[in-house]
């Protein structure tokens, strides 16, 4: 495939957004499910480097009035200091094996932020961590880590959505901390997508560099 040719990643037709529930196999009466009508991928997304790896989904219908199980995430707007104690929420695997089961219930783990310089040595992420990213977790082997199946999960710092997981899926392996897109640097772009009226082709991403 020519990397300069736009291609389909996932057609929004196949996506569903679930809110108001933390267990994916045992729904409660609070669960709300919505279809996705459009997806807006960042125009500078680079699938080779994971740069600008963000997209905003538009739902066919809004969720009902917010209550104690459904509310919008607040976006972080402040620079995070190193060793900020953040929380990652997800449903990823429970072990590093390919056959490991995905957790049916949401789990939350603490992930401290790390200096970019600590995450870019050749034996860690080898200069893949860009200035628009956040590195968080541990450099030492640690069972309390994000695992396979968590891609796109949120990192919450000081109660606000601060990062979106893009790579570093070692599941507790040494020198594989999680790397997240830094939401702080994309808030203007994210908010601009809320008022867009165009309809990109299903699954479209921008032309990719050679």
Q: Where are the domains of the chain?
A: 85-184
Place of tokens 């990652």: 88
Q: How far is CA 76 from the centre of its chain?
A: 14
pLDDT on residue 97: 61
Q: What is the pLDDT of residues 168-183, one digit of tens each?
A: 867 778 999 999 999 9
Distances in Å between the alpha carbon of 112 and those of 52, 109, 141, 146? 22, 10, 14, 12
Closest listed residue to residue 42, CA positions, set 30, 53, 26, 29:
53
Closest listed residue to residue 72, CA positions, set 59, 86, 81, 85:
59
- Coil, strand or helix: which one is 110? strand
pTM, two decimal places: 0.89
The rounded distance, in Å, linking the Cα atoms of 33 and 63 is 8
As a CATH number, domain 85-184 is 2.40.10.10
List all residues 6 or more positions away from 114 whose beta carbon is below 8 Å from its beta carbon.
82, 83, 135, 136, 137, 139, 177
5, 87 in Cβ contact below 8 A?
no
The rounded distance, in Å, linking the Cα atoms of 105 and 26 is 9
pLDDT on residue 9: 59
Q: Which residues of the chain have pLDDT under 50?
A: 1-8
pLDDT on residue 1: 35
Cβ-based burial of 16 (10 A; exposed 0-12, middle 13-18, buried ≥19): exposed
């Amino acid at each position: 495939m020519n990397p300069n040719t736009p291609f389909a990643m996932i057609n929004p037709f196949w996506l569903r957004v679930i809110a108001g529930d933390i267990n994916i196999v045992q729904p409660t009466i609070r669960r709300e499910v919505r279809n996705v009508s459009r997806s807006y991928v960042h125009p500078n997304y680079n699938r080779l480097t994971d740069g600008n790896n963000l997209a905003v989904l538009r739902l066919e219908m809004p969720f009902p009035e917010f209550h104690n199980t459904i509310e919008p995430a607040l976006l972080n707007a402040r620079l995070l200091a190193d060793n900020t104690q953040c929380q990652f929420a997800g449903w990823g695997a429970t072990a590093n094996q390919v056959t490991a089961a995905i957790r049916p219930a949401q789990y939350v783990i603490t992930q401290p932020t790390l200096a970019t310089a600590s995450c870019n040595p050749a034996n860690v992420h080898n200069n893949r961590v860009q200035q628009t990213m956040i590195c968080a977790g541990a450099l030492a082997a640690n069972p309390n880590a994000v695992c396979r199946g968590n891609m796109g999960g949120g990192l919450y710092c000081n109660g606000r959505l601060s990062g979106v997981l893009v790579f570093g899926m070692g599941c507790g392996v040494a020198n594989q901390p999680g790397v997240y897109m830094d939401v702080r640097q994309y808030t203007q772009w994210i908010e601009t997508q809320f008022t867009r009226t165009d309809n990109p082709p299903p699954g479209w991403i921008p032309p990719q560099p050679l």
